[in-house]
Structure formats: structure tokens, C-alpha cells
Amino acid sequence: MERRHAGRRCLGAALAAITAVSGAAACSSGAQSPGSSSSSGTNAGGGTYTIWDPYPQFDDTSAWVKLLTSCGTEAGVTVKRTGYDTTDLTNKALLAAQQGNSPDVLIVDNPVVSTLAEGGVLTTTADTKLDTSAAEPNLLAAGQTGGKTYGVPIGANTLALYYNKKVLAKAGVDAGSVKDWASLTAALDKVKASGKKGITFSAIGTEEGSFQFLPWFWGSGAQLTKLDSPEGVSALSLWTDWVKKGYAPNSVINNTQTTSWQEFATGDFAFAENGTWQLANAEKAGFEYGIIPVPAKDGGTAPAPTGGEFVTIPVQNDQARYATSQKLVTCLTSTENSYTTDTTLSYIAPTAEVQDKQVAENPALKVWVSAVKAAKGRTSDDLGTKYPKISEPMWKAVQAALSGAEPPQAALAAAQSTAASATQ
């Protein structure tokens, strides 16, 4: 098939790009060993259809796998599912594409979608007649490149600010007063004066660092195509000033999102930037907490990056298989199934109808729904495979500024020069 042959020539570059963006922990992948892969069935009608997902933590007794099985039954086929670690999954998806042995349905981390698409691995939703009309446009954008859409979002998570109610009360800070950068910084100053610690986040030199910096970068009004804009410099200056003044610990430069959370869980910090995936840990923290959106520089909710996966249909030599694959994807992403699925995955649903149901069932999710509505994909704005070539210089600039090696302006100017050369 001509399209597949063209795609295979791009797979080496795709692998490099995927490696760069697969490190952020804004997904539901677990740490268990993945199962072995299997080849697709041979019969377009009936037979066995393979589904690969990044949820190895769910076994055959889980609600997730039972849903996959029931969707297969509804489509008149047997589903053979394999769960992989996120990085392992994307690498295996590329290898399978090279071998002409892709799964029928591939559930993949959203920043990887455009890379797989540009590598010729995925079909478009127009090819396979997938209906994406109910998905929120800002979430769907993470699976779009070149004016085409390559899957359906299964759910989303993003970042917000957790806060310790006792720490804020001791400092005389009302969490509701934090509306912008100035009011947040003023709150951090009061917390420090009260003898407690201000805010913790992840600024590690990986995609996790970029993921956590983006709400502040985008919240300043900056664009990824111009890292060293005055707006972008103001975002990095904010973080740098927090560290210099002791509002944020020096450890942020090495913090992952997990170690940052562990700092917050000590009970000494007022705020922590983290995601929906920490809700269960927050309940176990032993102190009362609350959540507010990451504020934009001048007020309102900052656009935070979306985590979560897309359900996609890889290119097959036998195009007759697409009709059944479309039924499987439609079942998995239907309004009827979305609520249960996103509850299982600790995700906010990708459609307004199910988001409303989630909030009705659990009012505590309201802040997360608001954050997801304001969020944007890292590969949105048609950046596609350019994103990882921008993200790496950006996180290196953050590291340089926070370590004191370079001032924010110089660090971002160097990052912009590197990114511009890499994306030409």
C-alpha cells in the first residue's frame, strides 16, 4: 500500500521524536510488565481484533478489560488486548508498523499521535468514518496535524494547584484570593513569613519539566514558536524569583512530579503543582487540602497541557478491517461508556455531557473540569513533530535559569535559537 511504504521511511525519525515526548507522567500507564504482542486476525468480518493500550496495571478482571471484551462482543469479534508501559507501547507500535503488523486499535499518549500520524502509521478519522463531533475542540486538537484528525480522545488530565488548608490558614491566606501571579506570589511571601514552605513543582530536565512549566509559559501569553518573547521570559523569571526568594525549594530542579508530590505530602508546603492522578494520594495525605486552577499572569485560568490518550486506528494492509475497528473505537469512546472509563482512569471526560455528569456525581471534580476546558495539547497549533524539538531546549533553559547558570532572558534566547534551527 503506497501510504504505508511512504510512512515506513519516516519511522526512524518518528521513534526519535516519540522518545523525547513520552516521559511526562500525565497518563495512566502503570509499571507492571507488559504482555506479549499478538498479530492481528485475518478475517475482516468476525475473527480476532487486537487492541494495544498503555494501561498494564489493569488485568483481565478489571472494568477496563471487561469493557474491551464487551465492545468486541458487540462488534461480533473477539478482542485480544495487550497492555504496555507508555514508552514501550509507542516503540512497539513503530516496530509493528515497519513489519506491517500493526494492532487494529491503538490507544496512545496524545503527544505521540502527531508523530505516528506523520510517520504514516495512523489512519485519519475521515478514512475510517470516526465521529469526533462530541469531543471538546481543545482536547481534539492534540490529535490533529496538517488539518487532519487521527483519533478520538478517551479522556484527559491536566495540572492545577493543590493547597494545604492548615498552612494557608496559619499564614492568613485565603485560597480564593489567589487569582493571578501577583496574588499567588503575595501568598507565598506570607507563607514563608509564617515559617512554612511556599510551593513545590517539577522542573527536572525532561519532558516532565516542560509539562509543568507550560501553564506558566502559556499563562503569560507566550507561544512555543517564540520561546524568548517578553511573555516567555516573564514566566521563567517568575519561577527563578521564587527559588531565589525561597518561596520554592532548590530541589525543584531535580524534582519529578512524583518527588514534588512527596514534598507536598510532608505537610510543610502551601502549594503543589500536580495533576488529577494525585487525587487518591491527596486523600491519604493526612491533612485537609483544596485545589485551585493554575492562574494566568493577569488573571483567569492558565492553559495547562493535556495529558491522556487517543484511541486510534493504525493503517492496515487489509482495509476491510477498518469497519470493525471503527465499531470498537466508537464503543470505547461512547457517551454510555465514557463515564465509567474515565472514572477508572482518573480522567476528565472529553465531552461536555459526560463532564457535567462527573461533576454532578463528584463536585470536587469541578476545578479539574475547568482546568481541562482551558487546557491545550502540547502538539496543538499544528506543531506536530516540531514540539519535542522545542520542548527540549525549553526545559534546558528552565534548568539553566533555576540553577543560576544563565539569567532567564539569555537562557530562553539560546533555547529559541536551538529550537528555530531544529524546526526549520
Helix, strand and coil content of the chain, in percent to the nearest 5, comes to 50, 15, 35
Residues 297, 313 share a domain: no
Whether 240 contacts 421, CB under 8 Å? no
Asked, for residue 167, whether it belongs to a domain, the answer is yes
Residue 397 has pLDDT above 50, yes or no: yes
Q: Is the torsion defined by CA of 97, 101, 104, 108 positive or negative? A: negative
Residue 72 and residue 116 in one domain: yes
Q: How far apart are the first and last CA of the chain?
A: 30
* Residue 82 CB neighbour total at 10 angstroms: 17
Average pLDDT score over residue span 179-207: 97
Name which of 36-50, 135-149, 323-337 the model is least confident about.
36-50
pLDDT in tens, 274-296: 999 899 899 999 999 999 999 99
CA–CA gap between residue 113 and residue 379 (Å, rounded):
9
Residue 135 and residue 170 share a domain: no
Q: Does the pLDDT at position 28 exceed 50?
A: no
Residues 317 and 332 in one domain: yes
Same domain, 174 and 241: yes
Q: Is residue 93 part of a domain?
A: yes
Give the integer Cα–Cα distance in Å for 85 and 58.
12
- Judgement on whether residues 124 and 82 belong to the same structural domain of the protein: yes
- Distance, CA of 187 to CA of 313 (rounded, Å): 48
Indicate if the pLDDT at residue 236 is higher than 60.
yes
CATH number, domain at 361?
3.40.190.10
* DSSP assignments along 186-197, one per residue: HHHHHHHHTTSE
For the segment 194-220, the average pLDDT, to the nearest whole number, is: 97
Q: Please check whether residue 199 lies inside any domain of the structure.
A: yes
Nearest to 305 by CA among 160, 402, 203: 160
Res. 209: pLDDT tops 90: yes
Same domain, 12 and 149: yes
For residue 81, pLDDT beyond 70: yes
In a domain, 49, yes or no: yes
Residues 388 and 268 both lie in one domain: yes
Same domain, 10 and 143: yes
Q: Does residue 212 fall inside a structural domain?
A: yes
pLDDT at 2: 29
Strand, coil or helix: 200: strand
Same-domain status, 224 and 294: yes
The reported pLDDT for the residue numbered 17 is 53
| 152 lies in the same domain as 165 | no
Classify residue 379: in a domain, yes or no.
no
Segment 382-389 mean pLDDT: 91
**Domain containing 141: what range?**
2-157+308-374
Q: What is the pLDDT of residues 40-80, one digit of tens each?
A: 444 445 799 999 999 999 999 999 999 999 999 999 999 99
pLDDT score recorded for residue 40: 40
pLDDT at 22: 52
Whether the CB-CB separation of 67 and 330 falls below 8 Å is answered with no
CA distances (Å), origin 55, targets 42, 106, 148, 276, 393: 26, 12, 27, 16, 30
> Quick check: is 233 in a domain?
yes
**Looking at the 3D structure of the chain, how many domains does it have?**
2
- Is residue 4 predicted with pLDDT exceeding 60? no
User: In the predicted model, is pLDDT for residue 3 greater than 90?
Assistant: no
Q: What is the pTM of this model?
A: 0.85
Is 186 within the bounds of a domain? yes
Alpha-carbon distance of 129 to 106, in angstroms, equals 16
Give the span between the Cα atoms of 293 and 303, in whole angstroms. 9
Claim to verify: residue 68 and residue 124 sit in the same structural domain: yes
